[in-house]
Amino acid sequence: MLNRILTLTAALMVTLGLAAQNPSQEEDLDLQYATTLLKAGSPAPDFTLNDLDGKPVTLSSFRGKTVVLVFWATWCPDCRKEVPDLKALYDKVDKKKVAFVSVSFDRSFDALKSFAKENALPGTQLFDPLGKKDSQVAASFGIHWIPSLYLIDKDGKVVIGTVVLDKIKKALAK
Q: Which residues are catalytic?
A: 79
Residue 111 and residue 80: Cα distance in Å, rounded?
13
What single-letter DSSP state applies at residue 68?
E
Residue 161 and residue 39: Cα distance in Å, rounded?
7
Residue 159 and residue 37: Cα distance in Å, rounded?
12
Q: Which of 67, 73, 72 is nearest to 100 (CA)?
A: 67
Q: Phi then psi for 100, rounded to 5 degrees? A: -105, 130
Helices (H), 22-151: 29-33, 77-92, 109-119, 131-134, 136-141
